[in-house]
């Protein structure tokens, strides 16, 4: 036995002891299983742990616990016997070890969890000869020749947790919820941020993916911009989980969901007695994220008064709890997102300019769906695959349905597409979705206006501007209805036309469009306009 093998064996003994302690001290089976997966990652370098349990009525595997995803829509994912690597274990009853998982043709990666270049281990969970489920993990480094030793170790872990898996199955059969909500599958479908695996091969999305890969390596503040439904939270997740802080805490907060007085307490925490109802001290989101990442969604919705408090924390890296006098030093990476035009808000005095520059260190702009319609077929297929998993049947789009989807400008982006496909799937008896099942709000499609409460574009025109929002995709829909108005030029075309009239002087073009120089410069950047030298 060489030194490396001996060191591995020693660490495995320590992990087995730790897992034994976890199993002995807790009666909460689901929470215990999650703690086991977390221990395997932190102490055993076996990341992306997954536990799938076998359904007694069918023998199919349903994903029960995952470590490495920040959301829990994995509960909608299942595998039939022989389907994928996990289903193959149900069929054969034998452990699976692959030195480079992406090379196996059975590798499905439905959760988008696993790295194709790394090894993969999955073993059956048995109790008394009965298959209860599957435990899967991924070593976080390339194969070092000790894959078989790791397989035997994972099999020991599976034997240890078998009783807890049985307890989880018993709880499920008795009808007691394993989650806080009554209908987790429905919630998983409704609340997923659009497409689980960053689907897209358009040039615009490839640029975004390149930006994510580059910025993830550092602790730079990132401002993610885009219309509602474009997947800003998904990009934030990708940045955190591909960063050196991936094993640290990842804390999220929607700034628009709380009034200002509660937002301050939620972010900064409070001391006991700081206000009515503060019966005990409480950590804020910044403290919770110490050593990790804090994601603030809808940052453009906070009030100017609160912006000043937030700016101090970002500048100094320290804060005081509400009602407290002790200064806390923190190490937090900030990711922020907004669908609002912050440049216009700065010009209008609604957003602090110094906070804008503090947040806008590395901007990532997500294109709306109408500007990357070449990705629509793959996104639709991805969504239908997940819907089909929920409905336990294959779902398909006819050619006519695909054409109908391509004719819409999708003001609600991927979220609207998801709702449209879900509605069509419910109405389809055979699983074949034809064009007549694609029901789209015709008022929104014709007018190009968003209903009250809907999110504006990420770069809306300045108040008083003569520039209107683009209605991309309207030309494709022209001819479908004789009453359809003629599509106006895109915003990119209008900006280029103004620049040409202004001799490619941005300040002069801004005056023609009723914008500020900052706004026109921002549009030149995000619309990828190549400036000409006259």
User: Where in 31-179 does DSSP place strands (E)?
Assistant: 46-54, 61-66, 78-79, 96-98, 120-127, 130-139
pLDDT at 488: 46
Quick one: average pLDDT of 529-533?
77
What's the chain's length in residues?
Answer: 534
For residue 155, pLDDT beyond 90: yes
DSSP string, 303-336: -HHHHHHHHHHHHHSEEE-BT---EEE---EEEE
**Poorest-confidence range of 12-16, 25-29, 335-339?**
25-29
Query: How is residue 450 annotated by DSSP?
Result: P
> Would 425 be classed as within a structural domain?
yes
- In this prediction, residue 27 has a pLDDT band, given cuts at 50, 70 and 90, of low
d(CA 301, CA 284) in angstroms, rounded, equals: 19
- In this prediction, residue 534 has a pLDDT band, given cuts at 50, 70 and 90, of low
Closest CA to 439 of 467, 465, 476, 408: 408
* CATH number, position 264: 3.40.50.300
Q: Are 98 and 119 in contact (CB under 8 A)?
A: yes
Closest CA to 64 of 165, 139, 196, 151: 165
- The residue out of 429, 447, 465 marking a domain boundary is 447
> Would 471 be classed as within a structural domain?
no
CB within 8 A of 94, min separation 6: which ones? 124
3-class DSSP state of 138: strand
For residue 185, pLDDT beyond 50: no
Q: Are 295 and 286 in contact (CB under 8 A)?
A: no
- Number of domains making up the chain: 4
pLDDT, tens digit, 9 for 90 and up, residues 357-366: 999 999 999 9
The sign of the CA dihedral 269, 271, 277, 280 is: positive
For residue 339, pLDDT beyond 80: yes
> Would 192 be classed as within a structural domain?
no
pLDDT at 440: 75
d(CA 428, CA 377) in angstroms, rounded, equals: 19
CB atoms within 10 A of CB 70: 14
pLDDT at 460: 37
- In this prediction, residue 333 has a pLDDT band, given cuts at 50, 70 and 90, of very high
| 94 and 141 fall within a common domain | yes
> Would 407 be classed as within a structural domain?
yes
pLDDT at 501: 83
d(CA 225, CA 458) in angstroms, rounded, equals: 6
CB atoms within 10 A of CB 388: 15
| 94 and 150 fall within a common domain | yes
**Poorest-confidence range of 179-193, 229-243, 382-396, 406-420?**
179-193
pLDDT, tens digit, 9 for 90 and up, residues 439-485: 876 544 433 444 333 333 443 333 333 333 333 333 333 333 333 33
| 378 and 521 fall within a common domain | no
pLDDT at 441: 60
Which of 215 and 452 is assigned the larger pLDDT? 215
**Poorest-confidence range of 128-137, 280-289, 363-372?**
280-289
Which residues form the domain of 523? 488-534
Quick one: average pLDDT of 210-225?
91
| 497 and 384 fall within a common domain | no
- The residue out of 330, 365, 400 marking a domain boundary is 365
Query: Which two tokens mark 526?
Result: 């995000």
pLDDT, tens digit, 9 for 90 and up, residues 7-16: 888 888 888 8
- The residue out of 394, 419, 447 marking a domain boundary is 447
d(CA 194, CA 339) in angstroms, rounded, equals: 16
3-class DSSP state of 200: coil
| 90 and 148 fall within a common domain | yes
CB within 8 A of 256, min separation 6: which ones? 297, 298, 301
- Rounded to the nearest 10 degrees, how much is the dihedral formed by the CA atoms of 383, 389, 394, 397? -10
Query: Which two tokens mark 355?
Result: 């906070």
> Would 128 be classed as within a structural domain?
yes
| 156 and 269 fall within a common domain | no
| 393 and 505 fall within a common domain | no
Query: How is residue 461 annotated by DSSP?
Result: P
pLDDT, tens digit, 9 for 90 and up, residues 80-131: 888 889 989 988 889 999 999 988 888 888 888 888 899 999 999 998 888 8
Which of 184 and 339 is assigned the larger pLDDT? 339
> Would 190 be classed as within a structural domain?
no
For residue 522, pLDDT beyond 80: no
For residue 25, pLDDT beyond 80: no
* CATH number, position 400: 1.10.8.60
| 425 and 513 fall within a common domain | no
- Rounded to the nearest 10 degrees, how much is the dihedral formed by the CA atoms of 341, 343, 348, 353? 130
pLDDT at 184: 43
**Poorest-confidence range of 144-158, 232-246, 372-386, 507-521?**
507-521
CB atoms within 10 A of CB 504: 16
Q: Are 449 and 468 in contact (CB under 8 A)?
A: no
Query: Which two tokens mark 531?
Result: 């400036």
- In this prediction, residue 73 has a pLDDT band, given cuts at 50, 70 and 90, of low
pLDDT at 378: 86
**Poorest-confidence range of 208-212, 226-230, 511-515?**
511-515
CB-count exposure of residue 24 (10 Å: 0-12, 13-18, 19+): exposed
Determine what percent of the chain is predicted with pLDDT higher than 70.
81
> Would 184 be classed as within a structural domain?
no
Continuous H helices in 93-199: 147-173, 184-191
| 216 and 75 fall within a common domain | no
| 294 and 353 fall within a common domain | yes
* CATH number, position 96: 3.30.450.40
| 391 and 437 fall within a common domain | yes
| 391 and 301 fall within a common domain | no
For residue 22, pLDDT beyond 70: yes
> Would 187 be classed as within a structural domain?
no
């Amino acid at each position: 036995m060489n030194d490396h093998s001996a060191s591995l064996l020693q660490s495995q003994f320590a992990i087995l002891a730790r897992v034994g302690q976890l199993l002995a001290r807790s009666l909460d089976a689901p929470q215990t299983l999650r703690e086991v997966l977390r221990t395997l990652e932190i102490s055993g370098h076996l990341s992306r742990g997954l536990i799938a349990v076998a359904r007694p009525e069918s023998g199919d595997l349903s994903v029960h616990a995952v470590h490495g995803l920040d959301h829990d829509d994995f509960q909608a994912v299942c595998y039939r016997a022989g389907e994928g690597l996990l289903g193959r274990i149900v069929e054969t009853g034998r452990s699976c070890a692959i030195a480079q998982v992406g090379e196996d043709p059975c590798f499905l990666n439905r959760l988008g969890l696993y790295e194709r270049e790394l090894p993969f281990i999955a073993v059956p969970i048995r109790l008394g000869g009965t298959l209860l489920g599957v435990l899967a993990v991924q070593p976080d480094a390339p194969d070092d020749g000790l894959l078989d030793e790791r397989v035997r170790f994972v099999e020991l872990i599976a034997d240890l947790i078998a009783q807890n898996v049985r307890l989880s199955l018993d709880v499920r059969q008795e009808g007691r919820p394993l989650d806080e909500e009554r209908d987790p599958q429905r919630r998983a479908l409704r609340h997923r941020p659009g497409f689980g695996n960053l689907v897209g091969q358009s040039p615009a999305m490839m640029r975004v993916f390149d930006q994510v890969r580059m910025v993830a390596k550092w602790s730079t503040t990132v401002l993610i911009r885009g219309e509602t439904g474009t997947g800003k939270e998904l990009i934030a997740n990708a940045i955190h989980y591909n960063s050196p802080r991936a094993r640290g805490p990842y804390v999220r907060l929607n700034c628009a969901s709380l009034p200002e007085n509660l937002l301050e307490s939620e972010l900064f925490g409070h001391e006991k007695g700081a206000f009515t109802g503060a019966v005990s001290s409480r950590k804020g989101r910044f403290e919770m994220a110490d050593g990790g990442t804090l994601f603030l969604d809808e940052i453009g919705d906070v009030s100017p008064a609160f912006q000043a408090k937030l700016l101090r924390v970002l500048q100094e890296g320290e804060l005081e709890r509400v009602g407290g006098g002790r200064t806390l030093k923190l190490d937090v990476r900030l990711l922020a997102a907004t669908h609002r035009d912050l440049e216009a808000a700065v010009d209008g005095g609604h957003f602090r300019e110094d906070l804008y520059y503090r947040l806008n260190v590395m901007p990532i702009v997500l294109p709306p769906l109408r500007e990357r319609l070449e990705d629509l077929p793959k996104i639709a297929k991805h969504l239908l695959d997940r819907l089909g998993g929920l409905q336990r049947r294959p779902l398909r789009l006819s050619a006519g349905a695909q054409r109908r989807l391509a004719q819409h400008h999708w003001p609600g982006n991927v979220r609207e597409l998801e709702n449209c496909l879900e509605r069509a799937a419910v109405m389809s008896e055979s699983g074949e979705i034809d064009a007549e099942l694609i029901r789209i709000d015709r008022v929104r499609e014709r007018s190009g206006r968003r209903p009250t409460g809907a999110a504006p574009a990420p770069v809306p025109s300045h108040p008083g501007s003569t520039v209107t929002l683009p209605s991309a995709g309207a030309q494709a829909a022209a001819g479908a209805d004789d009453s359809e108005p003629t599509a106006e030029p895109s915003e990119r075309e209008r900006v280029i036309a103004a620049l040409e009239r202004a001799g490619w002087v941005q300040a002069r073009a801004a005056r023609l469009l009723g914008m500020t120089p900052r706004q026109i410069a921002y549009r030149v950047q995000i619309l990828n306009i190549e400036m000409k030298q006259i």
